[in-house]
Amino acid sequence: MSPNDGTVAAIGEFALIQAVTEGRRQPASTLLGPGDDAAVVAAPDGRVVATTDVLVQGVHFRLDWSSPEQVGRKAVAVNLSDVAAMGAKPTTVLVGFACPPDLPATVVTELMNGMWAEAGRAGIGVSGGDMVSADQLVISVTALGDLEDREPVTRSGARPGDVLAVSGRLGWAAAGLAVLRRGFRSPVGVVNAQRCPEPPYEAGPRAALAGATAMIDISDGLLADLGHIASASGVGLDVQTTDLEVSTRLREVGTALGADPLRWVLTGGEDHALAATFPPFGDLPEGWRRIGTVTMPDSGITVDGKEYGHEGGWEHWR
Ligand SMILES: Nc1ncnc2c1ncn2[C@@H]1O[C@H](COP(=O)(O)OP(=O)(O)OP(=O)(O)O)[C@@H](O)[C@H]1O
Ligand SMILES: Cc1ncc(C[n+]2csc(CCOP(=O)(O)O)c2C)c(N)n1
Ligand SMILES: [Mg+2]
Ligand SMILES: [Mg+2]
Ligand SMILES: [Mg+2]
């Protein structure tokens, strides 16, 4: 028996989520339970979209890489992105802080400024939270959203023949991470993309209105997150690299660091682009571009029709 047996690392992030969620009977008020970017719950006067994501110092951010304001913006942005991925518009966020006693209070006030700034970009505010002591800085954000009259776009509705499309940047945050890890601070475009994503919030509701059959935000990596649409929908997905734009900036950074920029695009997380599938006939909505097709269930996630030989994205504890 290895010392790792029975640990969360041995089980793995996604198998652990499955283990703790399967077999639980949800109350009737849970219209959509765990397994998607957000839950949908019934309220007497409507439906509420609800999602939460935790950011941990040293895992999701470093205070020598990012300002507290940038970290605060990121913590809110990654949550609002999950609301958008359901086809909903955010209504509010609540924030939890855990931090050590010697953390300068200005770090917390600046984090809150960043949170209010990002919330403000989406037309909402911070309506509550919590503050507790801990050994390291941990930020937990819960975002709520409103579907208005739209149906939620889940991960499970993709059908073979649908078009696979994305909205937003791919590979920029991963390029920024590679730059920061080597001790550099420029080019600032990719470094800032790592410090704080700019998710295309409006593209989610727009995709829902245009009849998107499935949607997810890209937090872990394009191929890894497409894997969630594939398993939830019971389909395969093929990404066509000729449809993937690898920008000049990413190529330049790749050359400077001796890294493959296409790998950042295919497997880099944290840009929080949206990926969605659409019926094959009809134009894609504004801001969306085609990157591939939905294939048969047994084909898995492929790149130009072939299996990709590397990890598809981030997985905690791996
Ligand atoms: N402890 C838990 N109990 C119940 N559901 C959980 C738990 N942890 C995760 N989930 C659910 O599992 C699903 C997948 O979670 P995951 O965090 O991978 O999604 P995400 O927030 O879209 O991605 P990311 O965290 O990478 O941004 C979500 O529906 C989430 O609510
Ligand atoms: C200091 C530092 N080291 C590594 C990374 C890279 N990283 C951390 S979590 C994650 C996936 C998304 O997280 P989650 O699945 O929790 O939403 C990625 C790509 C970082 N951002 N900061
Ligand atoms: Mg998500
Ligand atoms: Mg999450
Ligand atoms: Mg993740």
Q: What is the ipTM of this complex?
A: 0.99
Atom of ligand 2 nearest to the CA of 219: 12
Q: Which amino acid is at 144?
A: L
Q: What pLDDT shows up at residue 3?
A: 65
Last residue of a domain, one of 146, 179, 196: 146
Please name the residue whose Cα sits nearest to atom 20 of ligand 1. Answer: 37
Q: What is the pLDDT of residue 4?
A: 73
Stretches in the chain below the pLDDT threshold 70? 1-3
Query: Is residue 82 within 6 Å of ligand 2 at its C-beta?
Result: no
Quote the pLDDT of residue 316: 98
The Å distance, Cα 224 to ligand 5 centre, comes to 9
Same structural domain for residues 193 and 301? yes
Domain count of the fold of the chain: 2
Domain boundary among 83, 113, 146: 146
- For ligand 1, whether the C-beta of 59 sits within 6 Å is no
Per-residue pLDDT at 44: 85
Surrounding residues of ion ligand 3, Cβ less than 5 A: 37, 82, 217
Do 103 and 169 belong together in one domain?
A: no
**Are 125 and 170 contained in the same domain?**
no
DSSP string, the chain: --TTTTSHHHH-HHHHHHHHHTTPPPPTTEEE-BTBSSEEEEETTEEEEEEEEEEEBTTTB-TTTS-HHHHHHHHHHHHHHHHHTTT-EEEEEEEEEEE-TTS-HHHHHHHHHHHHHHHHHTT--EEEEEEEE-SS-EEEEEEEEE-TTPPP--SS---TTPEEEEES--SHHHHHHHHHHTT---SHHHHHHHHS----TTHHHHHHHTT-SEEEE-SS-HHHHHHHHHHHHT-EEEE-GGGS---HHHHHHHHHHT--HHHHHHH--SS--EEEEE-SSSPPPTT-EEEEEEE-GGG-EEETTEE-SS--S--TT-
Nearest CA to ligand 1 atom 17: 53
Query: Where a domain ends, among 146, 174, 209?
Result: 146
Could you give the C-alpha distances from 73 to 11, 26, 252, 272, in angstroms and in order? 32, 32, 27, 13
Residues 175 and 134 in one domain: no
Q: What are phi and psi of 123, to 5 degrees?
A: 75, 20
CA of 40 to the centre of ligand 1 (A): 14
Instruction: Specify the ligand 1 atom closest to the Cα of 220.
Output: 26
Look up the domain containing 246 and give its range.
Answer: 163-307
pLDDT score for 157: 98
Residue 248 domain-assigned (yes or no): yes
Residue nearest atom 5 in ligand 2 by C-alpha distance: 60
> Are 253 and 210 members of one domain?
yes
Q: Within this chain, do residues 199 and 283 fall inside the same structural domain, yes or no?
A: yes
Q: Of ligand 2's atoms, which has the minimum distance to the CA of residue 58?
A: 1
Does 129 map to a domain? Answer: yes
Q: Mutate which of 55, 60, 136, 191 to test ligand 2's pocket (most atoms within 8 Å of Cβ)? A: 60
- Cα–Cα distance for residue pair 45/258, rounded to 1 Å: 55
Report d(CA 237, CA 299) in Å as an integer: 7
Shared domain check, 219 and 185:
yes
Position 5 scores a pLDDT of 83
Residue 20 confidence (pLDDT): 97
Starting from the CA of residue 38, give the closest ligand. 1
Examine residue 118 and state whether it is found in any structural domain, yes or no.
yes
Q: Give yes or no for residue 270 CB within 6 A of ligand 2.
A: yes
pLDDT, position 164: 98
Put residue 218 in one of left, alpha, beta given phi > 0 → left and psi -120 to 50 → alpha.
beta
Across-strand partners of 103? none
Report how far ligand 5's centroid is from the alpha carbon of 2 (Å). Answer: 26
Instruction: Determine if ligand 2 sits within 6 Å of the CB of residue 62.
Output: yes
The C-alpha atoms of residue 54 and residue 56 are separated, in whole angstroms, by 7
Distance 286 CA to ligand 2 centre (A): 29
Residues 219 and 287 in one domain: yes
Return residues with CB closer than 5 A to ligand 5 (ion). Answer: 219-220
pLDDT tens, residue by residue, 214-234: 999 999 999 999 999 999 999
Residue 253 domain-assigned (yes or no): yes
277 lies in some domain: yes
* Cβ of 82 less than 6 Å from ligand 1: yes
Q: Are both 139 and 222 inside the same structural domain? A: no
Q: Angle at which helices 188-195 and 248-257 pack, to 10 degrees?
A: 100
